[in-house]
Amino acid sequence: MKRFLLPLVIFLIVVGFLGVGLNLDPREVPSPLVGKPAPAFNLPRLDDPEKKISNKDMLGQVWLFNVWASWCGACREEHPLLVALSKSGAVPLYGMDYKDTRQEAQQWLDMGGNPYVASAVDADGRVGIDYGVYGVPETYVIDRAGVIAYKQIGPVTEEVLRDKILPLVKRLQAQ
């Protein structure tokens, strides 16, 4: 008698998992770089191609590293938030212009506002490969020691900023 109940029990367990699964995103691949040192880069700056910017320049401070491009539609969504964030002075923002042309990138910043202390130019995307960039925009929170504390895949939203990024930044700045 009991063995006839087995199929039902198994089914209900599977359904439980399926229900949980509805709230997960199988396409979201968490970064294996979280907790590891940020990959080194030494790239020309967007505002002055003669000058270079490197990750070592930012050691000793907590900073946000935002990968963006003028051709990226979703970047438009998060841009006003980033501009507001930079004005608030909570944390410095550095950008990386990914697989873009200088002229269009500069135009884009002129039109939408420039929230970045400085932007690096990654024209062929090699630094992006090092960082595991597979979609634009992506944002990294990097601590004083140069270790990646968090990676945001996709545009930064109010909720993510308020619930994840800013509290994390405060904690790291207190270290």
Residue-wise over 67-88: b if at least 16 C-beta within 10 A, else e? bbbbebeebeebbebbbebbee
Q: How many other C-beta atoms are found inside a 10 Å radius of the C-beta of residue 10?
A: 10
* Cis peptide bond N-terminal to 37, omega within 30: no
Q: Between the CA of residue 107 and those of 62, 111, 113, 124, what are the distances in Å?
A: 28, 6, 10, 20
Q: Is residue 21 within the footprint of other proteins (CB under 8 A)?
A: yes
The least distance separating other proteins from the CB of residue 143, rounded to whole angstroms, comes to: 24
Nearest residue (CB) to other proteins, 27 versus 51: 27
> Does residue number 89 form part of the binding site for other proteins (CB under 8 A)?
no
User: Segment near other proteins (CB under 8 A), from 17-25, 36-44, 81-89, 122-130?
Assistant: 17-25
* Distance in angstroms (rounded) separating the CA atoms of residues 21 and 5: 25
| Spatial distance between the Cα atoms of 12 and 113, rounded to a whole number of angstroms | 53
CB 34 within 8 A of CB 151: yes
Q: Give first-to-last CA distance, the chain, whole Å.
A: 62
34 binds other proteins (CB under 8 A): no
User: From the CB of 46, what's the least distance to other proteins, in Å?
Assistant: 29
Of the residues 12, 50, 110, 158, which one makes contact with other proteins according to CB under 8 A: 12
73 makes contact with other proteins (CB under 8 A): no
Site membership for other proteins, residue 30 (CB under 8 A):
yes
Least Å distance, CB 16 to other proteins, is 8
Question: Stretches 21-29, 41-49, 59-67, 120-128: which one binds other proteins (CB under 8 A)?
Answer: 21-29
- Shortest separation between residue 5's beta carbon and other proteins, angstroms: 4
d(CA 10, CA 14): 6
Binding positions for other proteins, rule: CB under 8 A: 1, 4-5, 7-8, 11-12, 14-15, 17-30
